[in-house]
A and B are shown apart, each in its own frame.
Chain A
Amino acid sequence: MLKVGEKAPEFEGTAYHKGNFKNVKLSDYDGEWRVVCFYPGDFTFV
């Protein structure tokens, strides 16, 4: 169970980023604030 105040789960996956494909990990951005946004799907309306 995810809880605020605890370490956010590490993840990694293939990403599309500005024209390229690359591997992205949450920990790639250690030392920075991060906003992780899940959304239901590409081509959805809101």
Chain B
Amino acid sequence: MSAVAVKYDELKDLGAEVIAVSTNSHFSHKIWDEVELSKMVEGGIPYPMVADTSGKIGKKYGVYDEEGGVNVRGRFLIDPDGVLQAMEVLTPPVGRNVSELMRQLQAFQHVRKTGEATPSGWKPGKPTLKPGKDLVGKVWKEWQPSNAYGE
């Protein structure tokens, strides 16, 4: 969660708010922030950390693990209308890639603004596709798989 915290200002600049959720109490969140996270992130965790002690929220999002009594690592990207646009769920030992989250956020924002589509590996500045009858069967003229990689 500290990796998300250090990118918080960039996420805020993109107009996104972060909400963290675990089955720990809000008291536990406070102590974790005070004794550990604030030593990794200047000023401590900048976003709200919600207590989901019953797992009720995790169950709604399909990330609650009954056996362990915890929420597994899930990340949900929700647009300004409250529509879920993307989700990623990992088992606990592997951490997330915050850079990929930022890339997806920028891609969904671009799509929302322009109505264009962003092909695989798109980043701001890379070519987009304009879906329509003229593009059918002609994607090869506009885009190559190598566009998915590199800068």
Q: How many residues of A contact B (CB 8 A)?
A: 39
Instruction: Please report the total number of B residues contacting A with Cβ < 8 Å.
Output: 67
Residue of B nearest to A46 (CB): B95
In contact, A15 and B72 (Cβ under 8 angstroms): no
- Give the complex CA separation of A9 and B28 in angstroms: 25
Q: Kindly state the separation between the CA atoms of A41 and B62 in the bound complex, as whole angstroms.
A: 16
Known: A13-B50, A38-B72. 11 other contacts (CB 8 A): A6-B83, A7-B82, A8-B76, A14-B26, A26-B82, A34-B17, A35-B78, A36-B78, A37-B1, A37-B73, A46-B95
Which residues of A line the B interface, CB within 8 A?
A: 1-9, 11, 13-19, 21-22, 24, 26-27, 29-44, 46
25 A-B pairs whose Cβ atoms sit less than 8 Å apart in the complex: A1-B62, A2-B62, A4-B86, A4-B87, A5-B83, A14-B26, A16-B27, A16-B51, A17-B49, A18-B45, A21-B30, A26-B82, A32-B17, A33-B108, A34-B18, A35-B4, A35-B18, A35-B77, A36-B19, A37-B19, A37-B21, A38-B72, A41-B22, A42-B24, A44-B92
